[in-house]
């Protein structure tokens, strides 16, 4: 791993280390072990877009026809019934997230029917949070009504950048006016929380253009803002070769853009949450952070405390106490497997005791920029001594990225933008792996 790259650590071990040794049979056993009255999360992956944004690194494909989407929806209903029967009613769903791709590509009636199927197969808690990723260009009145009908509590809209030159370079036309109209429509329908995703490090972005976009975003007063660095991974997503690498900002410019954007958001009254999220002080994410309850999963930072997350749809990842499992990414193969009543598991990884220890350390660093030596020993016993010894060695380095702070090891404030690199020091899989990763800032 290069010093300026690192995994994003939405899981540990990370996805490149998943393998075919985890099968459908494995996952059925893990599902059977879900405790009675467990609270669990659901993630539904919609693997289609009606346009392909060149910056995107998600598992999705472009289609201008609805037929393949309709076929996928039929298969998704099969998977919902199969996994719902395995989970039963002993577990209550407290969080549901629709991601993609573009979930808002679904026709309004199909989205409402999908939500009905989920409620029929799973027991939902009365206070379940329902969030949906929205492409403003997909939206119309009927789709806004459908989102309200399914009980959506949080909308997440991708903004990326409002500069027309940047949008053209990433194939993402999206005006501020259209974005505002969607947010206004959501709020009129009672959606209580709005998150906006903004990117820095895109082609042709400058500090001035980022500042202009951030000011427009702040004028919309979203409850949360996610500020991500563009991950240029053309070896992983071939369509990113459409982006002119000569137009990409360098490391110093990326860092400057990130810092400038963060300063503006903080000055507007938002609380910093983890590495790249911001939230209004009364938002549940900010409250979780203040209380030391912040978590990290495949959607990024979250206040979701569930230990079990069940992924539905192609490429989706499930997290159980015993390990991770990922569905097959190819939509046709996914449809074949779940249509036959089977699970679509392609790979995963079972967690060892050491994996759980290192996952906890990495998550705490990513969320809190520190971890407690006392809590490490209380949770993991003498096994924690190995990691604490590693932390002590890092703290003794010249210009250390980790320092001893009372009973904790902490990332100094000046090093926090590089916390992914710090976390990577505790990742034993990186040394043996060959996976390439995105820029750490």
Residue 12 is assigned to a ligand binding site: no
Residue 160 is assigned to a ligand binding site: yes
Helix intervals (H) in 268-305: 284-290
Contact 338, 75 (CB under 8 A): yes
Residue 32 is assigned to a ligand binding site: no
Question: Mean pLDDT, 10 residues at a time, over the chain (441 residues)?
Answer: 70 95 98 95 95 76 93 98 95 96 96 98 96 94 97 95 93 93 97 95 95 98 95 76 88 95 98 96 97 92 95 97 97 98 98 97 98 98 96 95 96 94 95 55 59
Q: Which of 143, 119, 200 is nearest to 417 (CA)?
A: 200
Residue 413, Cβ neighbours under 10 Å: how many? 8
The Cα 429–Cα 418 span in angstroms is: 19
**So what's the pLDDT on residue 1?**
42
Burial class (CB in 10 A: 0-12, 13-18, 19+), 397: exposed
Residue 155 is assigned to a ligand binding site: no
Residue 100 is assigned to a ligand binding site: yes
Q: Which of 418, 396, 403 is nearest to 371 (CA)?
A: 403
CATH fold, domain 15-350, is pyruvate-formate lyase- activating enzyme (3.80.30)
**CATH pick for 353-424 out of 1.10.150.120, 1.10.150.20, 1.10.10.920, 3.40.50.150:** 1.10.10.920
**So what's the pLDDT on residue 4?**
54
Residue 78, Cβ neighbours under 10 Å: how many? 18
Residue 288 is assigned to a ligand binding site: no
**So what's the pLDDT on residue 236?**
67
DSSP for residue 270:
P
**So what's the pLDDT on residue 119?**
98
Distances (CA, A) of 296 to 11, 184, 208, 432: 8, 29, 31, 24
DSSP for residue 190:
T
- Give the length of the chain: 441
Residue 58 is assigned to a ligand binding site: no
The Cα 321–Cα 31 span in angstroms is: 10
**So what's the pLDDT on residue 303?**
95
Q: Which helix (H) or strand (E) holds 404?
A: strand 403-405
The Cα 137–Cα 52 span in angstroms is: 12
**So what's the pLDDT on residue 231?**
85
Residue 231 is assigned to a ligand binding site: yes
- Helix, strand, coil shares, percent, the chain, to 5: 40, 20, 35
HSE-up (13 A, CA, CB side) for residue 400: 16
Residue 207 is assigned to a ligand binding site: no
Domains of the chain, by residue range, sit at 15-350, 353-424
**So what's the pLDDT on residue 432?**
67
Residue 274 is assigned to a ligand binding site: no
């Amino acid at each position: 791993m290069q010093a300026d790259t690192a995994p994003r650590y939405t899981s540990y071990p990370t996805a490149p280390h998943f393998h075919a040794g985890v099968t459908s049979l494995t996952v059925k056993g893990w599902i059977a072990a879900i405790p009675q009255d467990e609270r669990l999360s659901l993630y539904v992956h919609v693997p289609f877009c009606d346009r392909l944004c060149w910056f995107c690194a998600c598992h999705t494909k472009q289609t201008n026809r609805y037929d393949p989407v309709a076929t996928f929806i039929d298969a998704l209903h099969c998977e919902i019934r199969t996994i719902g029967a395995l989970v039963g009613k002993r577990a209550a769903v407290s969080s549901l997230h629709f991601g993609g791709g573009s979930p808002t590509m679904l026709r309004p009636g199909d989205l409402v029917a999908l939500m009905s199927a989920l409620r029929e197969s799973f027991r939902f808690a009365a206070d379940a949070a329902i969030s949906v990723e929205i492409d403003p260009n997909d939206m119309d009145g009927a789709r806004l009504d459908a989102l309200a009908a399914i009980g959506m509590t949080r909308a997440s809209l991708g903004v990326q950048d409002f500069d027309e030159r940047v949008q053209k370079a990433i194939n993402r036309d999206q005006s501020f006016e259209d974005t505002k109209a969607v947010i206004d429509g959501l709020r009129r329908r009672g959606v209580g929380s709005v998150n906006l995703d903004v990117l820095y490090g895109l082609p042709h972005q400058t500090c001035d253009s980022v500042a202009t976009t951030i000011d427009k975003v702040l004028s919309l007063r979203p409850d949360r803002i996610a500020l991500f660095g563009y991950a240029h991974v053309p070896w992983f997503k071939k369509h990113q070769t459409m982006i002119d690498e000569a137009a990409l900002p360098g490391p110093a410019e990326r860092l400057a853009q990130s810092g400038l954007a963060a300063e503006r958001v903080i000055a507007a009254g938002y609380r910093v949450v983890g590495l790249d999220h911001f939230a209004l002080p009364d938002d549940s994410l900010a409250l979780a952070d203040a209380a030391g309850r912040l978590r990290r999963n495949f959607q990024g930072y979250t206040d979701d405390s569930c230990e079990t997350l069940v992924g539905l749809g192609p490429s989706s990842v499930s997290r159980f106490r015993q390990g991770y499992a990922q569905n097959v990414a190819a939509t046709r193969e996914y449809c074949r497997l779940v249509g036959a009543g089977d699970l679509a598991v392609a790979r995963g990884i079972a967690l060892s005791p050491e994996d759980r220890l290192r996952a906890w350390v990495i998550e705490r660093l990513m969320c809190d920029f520190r971890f407690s030596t006392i809590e490490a020993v209380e949770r993991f016993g003498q096994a924690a001594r190995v990691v604490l010894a590693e932390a002590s060695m890092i703290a003794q380095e010249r210009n250390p990225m980790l320092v001893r702070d009372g009973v904790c090891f902490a990332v100094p404030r000046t090093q926090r933008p590089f916390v992914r690199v710090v976390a990577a020091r505790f990742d034993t899989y990186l040394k043996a792996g060959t996976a390439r990763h995105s820029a750490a800032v």
